[in-house]
């Protein structure tokens, strides 16, 4: 059986999340998204068998290939950049977590209107200011969320962010708190923004203490990627 330790790792992660929710005192429910990128479809199967019903992929082509190889009953999340000419693949995903530009938003909206089905998205926000990472800059959130509020082809469920890798705890908390504040801006603009997707293998407990409702975990579940 591939990933023989997965069941135990999922149990430990869920325990730690429970403790972090208690420490954070916000009482939120937390969805674990198993990030299966670079692993084969057997990782998706293993996640489902271990009771994790949400999987995340950062590349569309890789995700579609795995979808074709497994009928595991999971919700697929796209957590990486999407090219505008590939928006049609969004109807295969439960949630697109990486809406990172106005032009992409226009394309997603157009597709949702055409399908008569609002695409569920998270705005990706670059709080860490790293130029290597995509996403809206914090200063643009208010304007952009007002603009998106007029679009019937997409539904902004919240936001996704990545903290700087190896950042000290104080900086992680600052980033995650900024994300929490930004969610309020989305709500004020009328979006049904309940989700805060933040926290990866190295920082998910702090993210949950700060209010994460979705954590995206790869390494801690499946081991190091090649």
Contacting residues toward ligand PLP, per CB under 6 A: 35, 37, 58, 79-80, 162, 200-202, 216-220
Cβ-based nearer residue to ligand PLP, 82 or 189: 82
As measured in angstroms, the least distance from the Cβ of 100 to ligand PLP is 11
Q: At what angle do helices 102-115 and 141-149 cross, to 10 degrees?
A: 20
Cβ-based nearer residue to ligand PLP, 8 or 149: 8
CB 106 within 8 A of CB 78: no
Cβ-based nearer residue to ligand PLP, 102 or 202: 202
Q: Which two tokens stand for residue 210?
A: 């700060």
Cβ-based nearer residue to ligand PLP, 124 or 153: 124
The number of beta carbons lying within 10 Å of the beta carbon of residue 161 is 27
Helix, strand or coil, per DSSP, at residue 163 = coil
When CB distances to ligand PLP are compared, the closest residue is: 218
Q: Which two tokens stand for residue 17?
A: 């999340």
As measured in angstroms, the least distance from the Cβ of 149 to ligand PLP is 25
CB 69 within 8 A of CB 49: no
As measured in angstroms, the least distance from the Cβ of 158 to ligand PLP is 15
């Amino acid at each position: 059986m591939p990933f023989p330790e997965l069941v135990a790792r999922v149990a430990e992660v869920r325990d730690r999340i429970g403790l972090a929710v208690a420490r954070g005192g916000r009482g939120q429910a937390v969805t674990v998204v198993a990030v299966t990128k670079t692993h084969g479809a057997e990782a998706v199967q293993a996640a489902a068998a271990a009771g994790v019903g949400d999987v995340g992929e950062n590349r569309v082509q890789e995700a579609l290939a795995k979808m074709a190889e497994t009928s595991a009953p999971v919700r697929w999340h796209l957590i990486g950049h999407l090219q505008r000419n590939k928006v049609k693949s969004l109807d295969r995903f439960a949630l697109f977590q990486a809406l990172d530009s106005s032009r992409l938003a226009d394309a997603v909206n157009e597709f949702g209107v055409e399908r008569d089905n609002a695409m569920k998205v998270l705005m990706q926000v670059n709080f860490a200011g790293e130029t290597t990472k995509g996403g809206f800059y914090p200063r643009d959130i208010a304007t952009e969320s007002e603009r998106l509020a007029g679009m019937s082809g997409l539904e902004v469920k919240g936001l996704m962010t990545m903290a700087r890798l190896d950042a000290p705890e104080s900086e992680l908390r600052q980033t995650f708190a900024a994300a929490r504040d930004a969610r309020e801006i989305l709500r004020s603009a009328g979006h049904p923004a309940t989700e805060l997707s933040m926290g990866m293998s190295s920082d998910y407990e702090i993210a949950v203490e700060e209010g994460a409702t979705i954590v995206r975990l790869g390494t801690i579940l499946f081991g190091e990627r090649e």
